[in-house]
Amino acid sequence: YQTNNHTAANKADTVQSKYINQPLVSHIYTADPSAHVFNNRIYIYPSHDTATGAPGNEQGDHFDMMDYHVFSMDGVGSKVTDHGVALSLKDIPWAGRQLWAPDAAYANGKYYLYFPAKNKQDIFQIGVAVSDKPEGPFKAAAEPIKNSFSMDPAVFADDDGSHYMYFGGISGGQLQRWDNNVYHADATNKYGEELAVLPRMARLGKDMLSFAEPVKEIKIVDKNGNLFKAKDNDKRFFEAAWVHKYKGRYYFSYSTGDTHNICYAIGDNPYGPFTYQGIILHPVEGWTNHHSIVQFKNKWYLFYHDVQLSGHTHLRNIKVTELTYNADGTIVPIKAMK
């Protein structure tokens, strides 16, 4: 997660000419937008980036977020409402620091906010908070979700009412430290011939507060059915899992991290395996690339972020653009800069 060195000097120029879409909000920095349609309105659950002065390093210490805001809008292009602080670090009993990329779901007449944070031992886990309203405020459970680890939760609601959480991220997200659901503090990232670390998932319990089954790995394979190696870093999973369904098939999309692509793979069921298809979103400005995909009124949208407003990797701004499919169900790749 290295910072980039953009200067303010040429910014006015780049704002005019370089970006295909403009930030959805500019009064605060926002990132990792998870979008959902609730009550016929688009709700966005992003990270809230802040400049706390935390040092920039590979562990991502500079992503030092302290709270979440929820945003909503009638449709793409409509006014965006900031609903204010929905959950604060100080109100999460188990959390120590770093509120990273969240997601949300609706069930049982309630709204659930899922979020990663480092616990008091500085190990990432995933928490849940509950509200009667999609915009919150949310009340956090006293403990993280049992058996959860790493970060970037994404909750997919299937047509039969089942909810599945997909999660994990290597490097700063600590996923490389988890093998067979056991923690190894000293495990490091690999970049060679060994198999790439796989993202994880679990079906959520009916209470939406727990996992209903042991955490499983998700296989992302090439067209020959082979898993990627750690060195295949333009394709292998790094972070930012998202799942959506299109014409009965399951699309698992994710960021390749150090090569900055949003890629996707398609499977026949929520557990995979998922077969790699290609790039959805080419690298954006800033080190991280993180997205969500949602259908609204017969159109599909890709929410993402870049660093147009700040020029700094840890101070991002959320954006949206339309997503289109080819007749065979593959996605037309997007370049978000001219």
- Write out the residues near ligand FUB by the rule CB under 6 A: 31-32, 47, 63, 100-101, 151-152, 169, 239-240, 288, 290
Cα–Cα distance between 60 and 97 in angstroms, integer? 12
- Cβ of residue 264: shortest distance to ligand FUB, in angstroms? 16
Reference 236, options 262, 256, 264; nearest CA is 256
**Phi-psi region for residue 147, left (φ > 0), alpha (ψ -120 to 50) or beta?**
left
Transcribe 164-225 into DSSP letters.
Answer: EEEE--SGGG-GGGEETTEE-TT-----SSSBPPPPEEEEBPTTSSSBSS--EE--EE-TTS
- Cβ of residue 124: shortest distance to ligand FUB, in angstroms? 9
CB 209 within 8 A of CB 111: no
As annotated, the active-site residues are 32, 239
> Which tokens go with 104?
């949300």
Cα–Cα distance between 44 and 38 in angstroms, integer? 10
- H helix intervals, the chain: 11-17
Query: Given the complex with ligand FUB, which of 49 and 135 has the nearer CB atom?
Result: 49
- Cβ of residue 46: shortest distance to ligand FUB, in angstroms? 9
- Sheet containing strand 299-306, edge to edge, reads 292-296, 299-306, 317-323
Query: Given the complex with ligand FUB, which of 112 and 124 has the nearer CB atom?
Result: 124
Query: Given the complex with ligand FUB, which of 136 and 153 has the nearer CB atom?
Result: 153
Phi, psi of 105 (to 5 degrees): -150, 160
> Which tokens go with 235?
């394709």
- Cβ of residue 249: shortest distance to ligand FUB, in angstroms? 24
User: For 112, how many CA atoms within 13 A lie in the half-sphere containing its CB?
Assistant: 25
CB neighbourhood size of 140 (10 A): 21
Q: Which amino acid is at 30?
A: T
- Cβ of residue 74: shortest distance to ligand FUB, in angstroms? 27
Reference 238, options 224, 223, 221, 259; nearest CA is 259
Query: Given the complex with ligand FUB, which of 136 and 169 has the nearer CB atom?
Result: 169
- Cβ of residue 30: shortest distance to ligand FUB, in angstroms? 10
